[in-house]
Amino acid sequence: MKVLITGGAGFIGSHLAEAYLEQGDSVCIIDNLSTGSMENIEHLKKRPGFKYIIDTIMNESLMNKLVDAADVIFHLAAAVGVRLIVEKPVKTIETNIRGTELILKLASKARKTVMISSTSEVYGKHNGHRFSENDDLVLGPTFKARWSYAASKIVDESLALAYWKETRLPVIIIRLFNTVGPRQTGRYGMVIPRFIHQALTGEPITVYGDGKQTRTFTHVKDAIWAMMRLVERQEAVGEIFNIGGDGEISIETLAQLIKEVLNSPSEIVHIPYEQAYEHGFEDMMRRSPDITKIQNLIGYNPRFTLHDIITDVAEYQRHRVLLDYSSLSRHEALQI
């Protein structure tokens, strides 16, 4: 099978590419490296069947060729991370909506299966229960940049479903819930990589708000397994699926757990949302998925625990520190 992954040099895209290569498929990725990294795919460059292109998905002539050559398309290219979304709302909206529009148009012409990556953010300000794919979506006011990401993803979903209804383009929509693992960066606000970096370096572990907000975390390997199984099932076409973990934890408790697991001397400090992001920033107090639908279709059950996630991310970050130190040592040696 020939697989095309937009945003393939990103955290999730690189793991998806690796998984398909391991089972003998051909993989082509395209990424403009705005949030992705060549480091994520360095180990894949010499693998048979792997091709990478550094360009924007808005290059229509290029994308037309890539879509034509693919059997299935995973559209992962998007603006990601709370901090990036708050700081660059125009980029968020344009990247997410225009890019998806082009991918769907080209895929429709070629009649190719497309998986659209959406987010738990679309559920908005719901509280008090696990989010189901059939729930109403409740967002905050448009003048708060916090909601621009969710709004853009809702448009993506609606456009994909419109293509399915009007042209029978085989589309599958996934809503990812806090997917975490090696290669993820805390640069744009991802909480577990950020906490682990702080714990490993002895810096204060910074909890935004009161820390009572709860989240469910998913190991990237579980998410990738689910994505690969969904595109194999005709029953998934035209449907939306939550992909997430099965246990909730408050952010404050998460900080304490990471501190304990890593035996870190870091203190835990609280920072107001206004200081971390912007005045009037709104957060979701609970974000937990109902995964009944995907369990019933493909037998999805998360295999990896939160402890697994923490140890895997910590091992990766320790490895990165050693590589950086080794590189610095060689550089210093050359200066002598």
Q: Are 31 and 8 contacting, i.e. CB atoms less than 8 angstroms apart?
A: yes
Q: Are 214 and 296 contacting, i.e. CB atoms less than 8 angstroms apart?
A: no
**Residue carrying the six token digits 């998410």:** 223
Exactly one of 20, 52, 123, 149 is catalytic; which is it? 149
Q: Are 335 and 285 contacting, i.e. CB atoms less than 8 angstroms apart?
A: no
Give the torsion sign (CA, 60, 34, 244, 70).
positive
Q: Are 242 and 291 contacting, i.e. CB atoms less than 8 angstroms apart?
A: yes
Q: Quick check: is 149 catalytic? A: yes
CA–CA gap between residue 131 and residue 137 (Å, rounded): 10
Which residues are tagged catalytic?
149
